[in-house]
Amino acid sequence: MRILLLVSCCLLGVASVHAEKADRNKPVYIESDTATTNEAQHVTTFTGHVVLTQGTLVIKANKLVVHQDADGFKDGVAYGDPAHFRQKRDGVNEYVNGYGQRIQYDQRQDTLQLFTHARMIRGQDDVRGDYISYDGKTEFFQVLGGGQTTSGQGRVHAVIMPKKKTGGGQAVTPGGAVNPTPSTP
């Protein structure tokens, strides 16, 4: 049986991703060792040390497959061991990092999915599972563990740090860039 954890923005600090909105209007730059394009299918495959940059968004992978539909919307699938993304949050000096064996992004739906050994980190908050999805329109997270076992494998793991209080009593989230070493759940 799979463990299912639905996490809303108010419950989990990691859920407050709020990606830099200006990134959507910036050009996409992709570097790789090789690239192949199928014009008829509107598919380009980049392989070898792939780095995609769009504004503050950076995706690093072994392989990236990009599809484009007739309306110009794109989706991409990044593969790695693990693949990694990093993006600045809107309005604060803080980054979100995500890891997974596969990262899938759908521009039209504004959804991001992390598959197999999935992990997202924001500040000191950290969530891990077998699968993580994020809906950018509704700011809703879903985290799935794998099969339930007595060893604790296949479960969702979350670390949620308390917010620090300022002199005026307002909560402050610890900021700054995070560049952790990914680990398997």
Tens-digit pLDDT profile for residues 17-56:
455 667 778 888 999 999 999 999 999 999 999 999 988 8
Angle CA 109–110–116, to nearest 5 = 100
40: domain range? 2-162
Whether 81 is in a domain gets the answer yes
The total number of structural domains in the chain stands at: 1
Instruction: Give dist(CA 66, CA 111) in Å, integer.
Output: 15
Instruction: Give dist(CA 56, CA 131) in Å, integer.
Output: 24
Q: What is the DSSP letter of 15?
A: G
Residue whose structure tokens are 């769009």 = 54
Domain harbouring 78, CATH code: 2.60.450.10
Whether 68 is in a domain gets the answer yes
Whether 169 is in a domain gets the answer no
Whether 172 is in a domain gets the answer no
Classify 123 in phi/psi space as left (phi over 0), alpha (psi -120 to 50) or beta.
left
Instruction: Give dist(CA 176, CA 36) in Å, integer.
Output: 37
Whether 141 is in a domain gets the answer yes
Whether 183 is in a domain gets the answer no
DSSP line for 54-95: ETTEEEEEEEEEEEE-TTS-EEEEEEEEEEEEEEEBTTSSBE
Instruction: Give dist(CA 61, CA 105) in Å, integer.
Output: 13
Instruction: Give dist(CA 107, CA 67) in Å, integer.
Output: 10
Instruction: Give dist(CA 104, CA 65) in Å, integer.
Output: 10
Whether 185 is in a domain gets the answer no
Lowest mean pLDDT among 14-18, 37-41, 152-156: 14-18
Q: Which helix (H) or strand (E) holds 30?
A: strand 29-31
Whether 9 is in a domain gets the answer yes
Q: pLDDT tens, 55-102?
A: 888 999 999 999 998 887 789 999 999 999 998 887 788 888 999 999
Whether pLDDT at 113 is above 50? yes
